[in-house]
């Protein structure tokens, strides 16, 4: 029996690390500031949706021993549907992750800048933020080691520390337990609908599905290991959801008049926690940024390799080039202060289309006896999956509308 507990520890923490990025911290902070505890129910709903989708994606990876992109390539064998699907995935995940990578790196740097002033290197007309550059290089070096276990250990450690930071902060502000429980009573109106969509959308993300399915196939090799996959997935997503809730609670308890980001939250907490507030928030934001800065290029590289039928071994040159391209673009954008607005807009549009289509595809594959055998969905799981698909459809439509409104 000795050592068996390790079977339950897989890529789940990487999934949590991927969706708790600087964007999630900011969205949850603003939700707490603007609506108090009222939208905790939306995060609970997003946890359920994420567990269901991630479990199905992970189950596909376990049974087929392939990532989602490879499975899509094999099940959609010809015609315009195949090329449209793979093209959409490439555009949404690869370009999107390259654009969002700048935000991951910059968010992590924002956390560090609470501790130290950012040194800037000036070369000619260009100014390079050295903290952004350092975070990007740390992520790159770790990924270039080609050692999944090493990457996993570092990410698990950072996720645990980040979780402790935000959870302890939420406890220290001494929120009303009655108010917290009341926050799990659903309520939707014209004033909070956009924030509800943002809270769910920042948790249910397409690239995590690709990342999870690929990593599961590298950790476990038999359908008999499904119980380990499920425990790993549920624990990681629930932990991530609790961290998001802790950020909402912390945001609701701050005293700042105007909060636009997580750094402002630290100032708002100083009357409650003193000078320690900025250090808690600073470290949490740094951990959220650097963990997402590591997982985003890895997920993108899995997608590139799957689309072109290349090896998904992280030591393979094709994976390394893909990682370098995605992380490198994010590093350039963040270090030079470039805001790739058009790239981000395009990625949002592509992701808005991809999320409901990908969810529908997962439901289709998970029910194919020829692919899943005895591990296909039960009736109850299909009913739940269909409900989650409706949520992804609403998220996708809202994402597309938001892009079109801005054009």
What would the mean pLDDT of 264-288 be, rounded to a whole number? 77
Count of CB atoms situated within 10 Å of the CB of 391: 22
pLDDT of residue 128: 75
Sorting pLDDT into bands at 50, 70 and 90, what band is 265? low
Burial of 383 (0-12, 13-18, 19+ CB in 10 A): exposed
User: Is pLDDT of 1 > 80?
Assistant: no
Burial per residue of 170-190, b for 16 or more beta-carbon CB atoms within 10 angstroms, e otherwise: bebbebeeeebeebbeeeeee
User: Is pLDDT of 271 > 70?
Assistant: no
User: Is pLDDT of 260 > 70?
Assistant: no
User: Is pLDDT of 42 > 90?
Assistant: yes
Lowest mean pLDDT among 53-57, 78-82, 158-162, 181-185: 78-82
Q: What pLDDT digit, counting tens, does each position of 101-133 carry?
A: 888 888 888 888 888 877 777 766 566 778 888
Sorting pLDDT into bands at 50, 70 and 90, what band is 385? very high
* Site of tokens 């995590």: 208
pLDDT of residue 155: 86
pLDDT of residue 213: 92
d(Cα 218, Cα 232) in Å, to the nearest integer? 14
Q: Cβ neighbours of residue 296 under 8 Å, at least 6 residues apart?
A: 18, 97, 100, 101, 104, 207, 326, 327, 330
pLDDT of residue 279: 83
Q: What pLDDT digit, counting tens, does each position of 166-191 carry?
A: 888 888 888 889 999 999 999 888 88
Q: What mean pLDDT is reported for the chain?
A: 85
Look up the pTM and report it: 0.88
Count of CB atoms situated within 10 Å of the CB of 320: 16
C-beta of residue 92 within 8 angstroms of C-beta of residue 353:
yes
Alpha-carbon 142 to chain mean position: 19
Sorting pLDDT into bands at 50, 70 and 90, what band is 353? confident
Phi and psi of 127, rounded to 5°? -120, 130
What percent of the chain has a predicted confidence (pLDDT) above 70? 92
Sorting pLDDT into bands at 50, 70 and 90, what band is 2? very low
Three-state SS for 342-380 is: HHHHHHHHHHHHHHHHHHHHHHHHHCCHHHHHHHCCCHH
Q: In this structure, what token pair is assigned to residue 144?
A: 């270039």
What would the mean pLDDT of 357-378 be, rounded to a whole number? 91
C-beta of residue 211 within 8 angstroms of C-beta of residue 233:
no
User: Is pLDDT of 284 > 90?
Assistant: no
């Amino acid at each position: 029996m000795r050592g068996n507990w390790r079977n339950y520890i897989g890529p789940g923490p990487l999934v949590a690390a991927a969706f708790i990025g600087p964007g999630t911290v900011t969205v949850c902070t603003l939700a707490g500031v603007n609506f108090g505890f009222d939208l905790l129910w939306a995060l609970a709903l997003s946890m359920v949706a994420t567990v269901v989708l991630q479990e199905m994606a992970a189950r596909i990876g376990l049974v087929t021993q392939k990532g989602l992109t490879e499975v899509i390539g094999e099940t959609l064998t010809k015609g315009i549907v195949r090329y449209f699907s793979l093209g959409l995935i490439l555009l949404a995940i690869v370009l999107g992750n390259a654009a969002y990578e700048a935000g991951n790196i910059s968010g992590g740097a924002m956390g560090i800048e609470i501790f130290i002033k950012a040194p800037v290197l000036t070369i000619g007309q260009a100014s390079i933020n050295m903290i952004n550059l350092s975070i990007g290089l740390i992520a790159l070096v770790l990924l270039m080691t080609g050692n999944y276990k090493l990457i996993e250990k570092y990410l698990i450690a950072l996720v645990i520390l980040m979780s402790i930071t935000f959870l302890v902060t939420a406890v220290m502000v001494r929120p009303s337990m009655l108010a917290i429980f009341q926050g799990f009573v659903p309520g939707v109106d014209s004033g909070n609908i956009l924030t509800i969509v943002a809270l769910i959308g920042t948790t249910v993300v397409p690239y995590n599905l690709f990342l999870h399915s690929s990593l599961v196939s590298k950790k476990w090799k038999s359908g008999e290991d499904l119980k380990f996959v499920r425990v790993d997935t549920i624990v990681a997503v629930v932990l991530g959801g609790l961290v998001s809730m802790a950020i909402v609670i912390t945001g609701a308890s701050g005293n700042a008049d105007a909060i636009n980001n997580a750094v402002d939250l630290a100032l708002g907490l100083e009357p409650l926690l003193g000078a320690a507030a900025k250090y808690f928030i600073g470290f949490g934001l740094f951990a959220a940024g650097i963990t997402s800065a590591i997982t985003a290029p890895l997920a993108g590289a899995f997608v590139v390799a799957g689309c072109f039928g290349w090896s998904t071994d992280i030591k393979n040159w094709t994976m390394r080039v893909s990682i370098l391209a995605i992380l490198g673009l994010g590093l350039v954008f963040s270090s030079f202060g470039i805001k790739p607005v058009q790239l981000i807009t395009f990625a949002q549009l592509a992701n808005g289309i991809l999320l409901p289509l990908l969810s529908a595809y997962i439901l289709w594959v998970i029910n194919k006896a020829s692919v899943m055998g005895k591990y296909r969905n039960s009736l109850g799981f299909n009913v739940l999956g269909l409900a989650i698909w409706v949520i992804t459809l609403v998220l996708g439509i809202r994402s597309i509308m938001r892009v079109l409104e801005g054009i």
